[in-house]
Structure 1
Amino acid sequence: MAYAHTFDANPHWLPRNPGRSLAHIPGDDGLPIVGNSLRLLSDPVKFGREMFERYGPVYRNRALGSTSVTLLGPDANELVLFDRDRLFSSEQGWGPLLNLLFPRGLMLMDFDMHRADRKTLSVAFKPEPMRHYATQLDAGIAARISEWGGCLRFYDAIKKLTLDLAATSFLGVSLGAEADRINQAFVDEVQASVAPIRSPLPGTMMRRGVKARAYLIDWFEREIPARRRGARGGNGEDFFSQFCRATDDDGQELSAAAIADHMNFLMMAAHDTITSSATTLVMLLARNADWQERLREEIAGLDAHMPLTEQLDHLTLTDYAFREALRLMPPVPSLPRRALRDFSFGGFDIPAGTNVGIGIAWTHRMADIWPDPLRFDPMRFTPEASKGRHRFAWVPYGGGAHMCLGLHFAQMQMKLLIAHLLTRYRVEIDPGAGDAWQMFPIPRPKDGLPIRLMALG
């Protein structure tokens, strides 16, 4: 199938619903033209709470150029993410935001096409490649953290590191002189995803994003012939080289265009979401010195005669802390879908063609599921505390067929990062640092999270 460059051009998409078809759903259309976009983008958790308190767990909202119905709570997450009846399209949900930027990202594919490409991509996340990545990540993180120290803006430092690590693991090469330009291209793509002007007009964020995509796609496509010949990427164990040689169920290689689009999306996801999550966790550990010390003690208890990469499963408290950071600040605060058929939820009949969203960040702070929800408490994730909790109450990686393919890679990278960081430094932070965050498209602290890294004796 050829992927269109604008979401209106996809012939299989359902037509837009007229606004009156959702008039029976309680809600707020907001201001003329912009709707509720500004309120939503500035603080989605607060916005979701206010809408819930006023309208309940099902409400109508107009933002980012369209009218949608938001469904809140674990039952809503299960309905939309598990999607046992194939009611919801991810492609048509994300498309209006991302089709100009990531038109063939795995997240934008549905059903059989999604299953086929996911199967092809999954070859790079099997145990042997993951062991290869772990060795490279361990060395890269150790080397970079040894250069840190004193005062730094953590978000900026970790973003550069995660991009370099993604290049090493997924591309098998150093980005070299092009690193800054490639990083800026990813920044421009991601920022364009929530641009208020959705057409690539001159001087707009969307225009910058579309130009950035063109640059990155050209970069990947120029590399593909050499990767297929095994001429680049060292021993060919990197993701890009494996993917260039992979075949589908019919024994056919994916097209260069498909590979380039998948790599563009994967590289963005592999460093931007981890950058956000690592920043959240380090901020929380800096604010909670007792937990920083507990993790340091856990890391110190590992066997000094064994490679760190072979002992990551023993870092149980570190895993709990990362999960709690993802609860408090999920890297994707909400997920859009589009209803392919009429359905009912919460006592409301919702017609086919409706844009549907679920509020992950809101669900992660429901007080009846997470007592004292704003408190950092990794022990929420012990087996005892988790018993009986709704399985869709915590969904930072999504769920169902679209569960994040790289979740184990992210967990592995985070444990290695925290192990090396806390072995070398005590992390300190001033009051107020990291208080203000830009939540969309991917959460980041507006001040870059200034911290101090104090070398341990």
Structure 2
Amino acid sequence: MNAPVANSDFVPADLPLPGYAALAHLPGQLPARSPLLRTLKFIANPLGASRTLVETHGLVFRRQDFGGWGVTLVGPEANELVLFNKDKIFSSELGWNPVLELLFPRGLMLMDFEEHRIHRKTLSVAFKTEPMRHYFAQLDAGIARGLAKWPKGQKLNFYPSIKALTLDLAATSFLGVPWGPEANRINKAFCDMVAASVAVVRKPLPFTKMKRGVDGRAFMSAYFAREIPKRRGHDGNDIFTQVCNARDENEQLLGEQDIIDHMNFLMMAAHDTTTSSISSIVWCLARHPEWQDRIRAEIADIRARHGALSYETLGDMAVTDMVFKEALRLIPPVPAMPRRVLRDFSIGNHQIPAGTMVGVNQMMSHRLPEYWPDPERFDPTRFTPENSRGRHKYAWVPFGGGAHMCLGQHFAYMQVKMFFFALLEGHRIVAEKPLGSVESDFTMFPIPKPKDGLPVRIEAL
């Protein structure tokens, strides 16, 4: 096995943090009188602000926020360069650290190069075929139980309802136990941690979002620490037990702190991004009920041919798959991905110096008309095999790409397909009020969610 490579082997000891002068040759924003005010305006409407920046400056531009100066890159070529990272120019750890270091330190996304490869390979045991079959059974029962409790034919605020359900599902598939009395505290801890990731005050001062986020992390760390000894050396089909007993290439178990850090990050990713993705799909389906009918026809066909949905027949849900992909094109669960540049590089005619904070912007990459004609239109047929043929492989990147591609991507696909199979077979989704645009209806950062909770009715057919 290759020994883990220390950051110092890749990160120059004198890595600078370029300011405006070092980036002045690039198109982009001029210095603001109040970077904080500029940041708050961006967070209020990141999609609209990003659209204006691209229209004004192009696909590579200089930007400023309360953290300093950086560069945004838009488009499939930029996505491939940064996310595939063939030449190891970009650090994910140094990109995410300013946002997540106090909240999700040492999560898989905050590792680079050989260390990342070793941890990812160790954790991947939890997402192999046999464990996934077990998760399917747990999710199937949990979804049915959760949907049975939802009111039918009356107003339902979808976002908080699906958030509670995905937390319950994460409990069974990730931890192997139903949530106990700590359920509300655990949910609050994760909400506080995610909210703190875009907090303007970056220190855990009393009464701040960051303080609540740091306290949430402390609570969850203590929770996992108490549970680890109960899982070591014991069989279990949940992800937590799999991780507790996973061995690296030297047949060594992960350390306790490694397990805590990975579980905190995996639970956040599974809970909040899945909640966001399912809510985005429901919003799209409520606006375009004809696609509910097409999914329902697909469900009926699976029932007729197989009797029930199974792990093996998930691949038959091609229409649901297209709807899922199109919803995540419009509303990617991670709207942008930061990196830090370790060595000077060029893109197009632009020279970017070492140390620069760069970010790829999925919101805008997913809206470039040369790849996505009439980009604001909801059209799942964009993802038919015929229409996908020849499209740049990095034109659609809601799960990232390269070595840091989302480890739980297939778990997310499975959970989404199972949910809509159960929901739409005997029900339809009806919006309680007229729906607008992505820009008007969603808060995009840190993870997209409907501004009003997405009120709908679940009506029996």
TM-score by length of 1: 0.94
Shift of 1:308: 1.0
Mapping of residues 59-70 of structure 1, within 5 Å = 59-70=61-72
How far apart, CA to CA, are the structure 2 residues paired with 1:146 and 1:279? 18
The one of 184, 208, 223 equivalent to 1:219 is 223
How far apart, CA to CA, are the structure 1 residues paired with 2:33 and 2:443? 21
The residue that corresponds to 2:382 in the other structure is 380
**Once superposed, what is the RMSD of the aligned Cα atoms?**
1.8
Greater shift in the superposed pair: 49-58 or 157-166: 49-58
How far apart, CA to CA, are the structure 1 residues paired with 2:187 and 2:219? 12
How far apart, CA to CA, are the structure 2 residues paired with 1:277 and 1:31? 37
Shift of 1:126: 0.3
Contact 1:35 1:62 in 2 (8 A): no
Matched, 1:174 2:178: yes
Mapping of residues 88-99 of structure 1, within 5 Å = 88-99=90-101
The residue that corresponds to 1:22 in the other structure is 23
Secondary structure of the residue that 1:102 maps to in structure 2? coil
Distance 1:314 1:445, change over 3 A: same
The residue that corresponds to 1:162 in the other structure is 166
The residue that corresponds to 1:297 in the other structure is 297
How far apart, CA to CA, are the structure 1 residues paired with 2:14 and 2:270? 29
Shift of 1:433: 4.4
Counterpart amino acid of 1:256? Answer: E
How far apart, CA to CA, are the structure 1 residues paired with 2:402 and 2:14? 22
The residue that corresponds to 2:354 in the other structure is 352
Counterpart amino acid of 1:21? Answer: A
Shift of 1:197: 0.7
Mapping of residues 36-435 of structure 1, within 5 Å = 36-148=38-150, 149=152, 150-230=154-234, 235-303=235-303, 306-309=307-310, 310-433=312-435, 435=440
Q: What whole-Å deviation, never above 9, does each CA across 1:260-310 have from its counterpart, x for those lacking one?
A: 010000000001000000001011111111111111111011135544123
Shift of 1:57: 1.2
List, as ranges, runs of 4+ consecutive aligned residues in structure 1 with deviation greater than 3 Å: 10-13, 303-307, 430-435
Distance 1:19 1:49, change over 3 A: same
The residue that corresponds to 2:455 in the other structure is 450
Contact 1:13 1:92 in 2 (8 A): no
Counterpart amino acid of 2:203? Answer: S
Matched, 1:437 2:442: yes
Contact 2:19 2:68 in 1 (8 A): no
How far apart, CA to CA, are the structure 2 residues paired with 1:126 and 1:395? 22
Counterpart amino acid of 1:221? Answer: A
How far apart, CA to CA, are the structure 1 residues paired with 2:177 and 2:65? 41
Shift of 1:325: 0.5
How far apart, CA to CA, are the structure 2 residues paired with 1:13 and 1:192? 30
Counterpart amino acid of 1:119? Answer: K
Contact 1:89 1:110 in 2 (8 A): yes
Unmatched 5+ residue regions in structure 2?
A: none
Contact 1:57 1:346 in 2 (8 A): no
Contact 2:193 2:212 in 1 (8 A): yes
Shift of 1:64: 4.0
Shift of 1:24: 1.3
Counterpart amino acid of 2:246? Answer: A
The residue that corresponds to 1:7 in the other structure is none
How far apart, CA to CA, are the structure 2 residues paired with 1:180 and 1:365? 38
TM-score by length of 2: 0.94
Shift of 1:13: 8.1
Contact 2:298 2:317 in 1 (8 A): yes
Counterpart amino acid of 1:308? Answer: L
Unmatched 5+ residue regions in structure 1?
A: 5-9
Greater shift in the superposed pair: 280-289 or 17-26: 17-26
Contact 1:433 1:447 in 2 (8 A): no
Identity %: 56
Contact 2:95 2:339 in 1 (8 A): yes
How far apart, CA to CA, are the structure 2 residues paired with 1:318 and 1:49? 29
How far apart, CA to CA, are the structure 2 residues paired with 1:13 and 1:446? 43
Secondary structure of the residue that 1:428 maps to in structure 2? strand
